[in-house]
Each structure stands twice: as C-alpha cells, then as structure tokens.
Amino acid sequence: MPRCALLLLLLAGVVRADETPKILTLGDSITKGVRQGVKVNETFAAYLQEMLKEKGIKAEVINVGVGGEDTGGALRRLERDILGRKPRLVAVMYGTNDSYSDKGKKDSRLTPEQFRRNLTELVRALRNKGVEPILMTEPRWAKDAGPDGSGDSPNVGLEKFMHITRDIARAEKVPLVDHFTHWTKAEQNGVNLNGWTTDGCHPNPRGHREIATVTLPAVVAALKRPPE
C-alpha cells in the first residue's frame, strides 16, 4: 500500500496509528510446539514475541499451529482462524506432514503437486487480503529418525517438498526463512539434532529458540515495510 494511501486511511479512521500489528505463526505440530517437554512460553512463537519486545518493537505474536495439519487443512480454516484475526504478517511453515509416507504406504500423504498448489493458494489468498506472508521451510529430522513408509529417512521426502517451498517463495516474491538449510548446516557442523528436539522431529525449547532466532530478521524487516 502506498504511504499516501495509508495516511488517508489513518485520517479516515479505517486504520489506527496505535494499532498493534498481529503476527500469526501458521503450521503443524512443530509450530504449535506445546507437548511433553515444551511449555506454551517455550514455543518459537513465544520466543519471537520476547525478542521483538527486547528490540522495542510493538507487535502481537499469535500461534495458530495445529498438530497433524497439512496445507490442505490450513486452507480449510483460512477464513476462520487466520484472515478473521486481521493479521499484518503470517509466517507459514508446512511440509513435514504433507511429505510423510505412513507405515505401509510408499507415497507421501500429499503429492508434491498438491503441496505446491495448496501452498501457492495460501500465499495468494493472504496477499489478496492485504496480509504479508513469510514462507518458512520446516526443520530437518535428526539423523537417527526411523524410516517412513517408503523405507527412507523422512528427510528424503521432506527435502523435496522444501525445494518446492523455496520455488514458491521465488515465484511469488515473498520472504523465505530456510530452517531446513539452517538445521542441515548445524548437523554438518557437528550438532546432534536430538539435542534440539524432543523426539528427533519436534523441537524442544532449545530448538524453538533456534527457530525464533532465525525467523526474527525476516519479521523485523517485514514490519518496517508499509502494509500491503
């Protein structure tokens, strides 16, 4: 939105200058975060709120992650749970459930084409409502995570889907926070990802803090831009 148009909305009372921008974290159980060993105030959304406050940035971070969800589920609750909250930014992180092959099945829960279509639709739907999306790749699984239904490490399928996330970010020209690459490099540098997770997949408080730290610069940069 041009600055002059924003000023007109402020003068008309449509937008309040003192309104606290809302940041939604949208995703699956990794985003929801709360589980045995992880409290509400130990999720990356909670840490992100703390980090913004420390920087003197006024914003409200709302965690709308749902355990077990894929991109199809996100689309089904888009109007009610996301757009209905009138956010300024939405950090979108999916792929772990979409790409997983269940026991006894060789194929992923969603095809790569379905994942691409759903994630693209999410990005465009947010933008059409004046909401800025930030795409995020999922963290990788730890090395000793058991095989999925295909017999491979779940990282094999997840990595393919994360390539799609990067493609969409480029094509749609939206910010990308690449947690998968960050966690991959950490592992290559000697980090045992079991130390960042509760079970080789879901982040523990240490892992959530890592996600928040890597996400923070993209959120700060987006808040500095005029609303779309």
The closest alpha carbon to 92, from 44, 135, 137, belongs to 135
Chain segment 169-220, per-residue pLDDT in tens: 999 999 999 999 999 999 999 999 999 999 999 999 999 999 999 999 999 9
Residue 174 domain-assigned (yes or no): yes
Establish if 10 belongs to a structural domain.
Answer: no
Mean pLDDT (whole number) for 17-36 = 92
Residue 171: its pLDDT value, please? 98
Say how many Å lie between the first and final Cα of the chain, rounded: 5
Q: 40 burial class (0-12, 13-18, 19+ CB within 10 angstroms)? A: exposed
Question: Domain containing 131: what range?
Answer: 20-224
Residue 125 lies in a domain: yes
Q: What is the pLDDT of residue 18?
A: 54
Q: What is the mean pLDDT of the chain?
A: 93
Strands 132-137 and 176-178 come out as: parallel
Average pLDDT for residues 7-16, to the nearest whole number? 42
Q: Is the pLDDT of residue 127 over 90?
A: yes
Provide the whole-model pTM.
0.91
Statement: residue 26 has pLDDT above 90: yes
Summarize pLDDT for 91-107 with one digit per residue, the tens.
Answer: 999 999 999 999 999 99
Q: Could you give the number of structural domains in the chain?
A: 1
For position 116, which CATH number holds?
3.40.50.1110
Q: Is residue 204 in a domain? A: yes
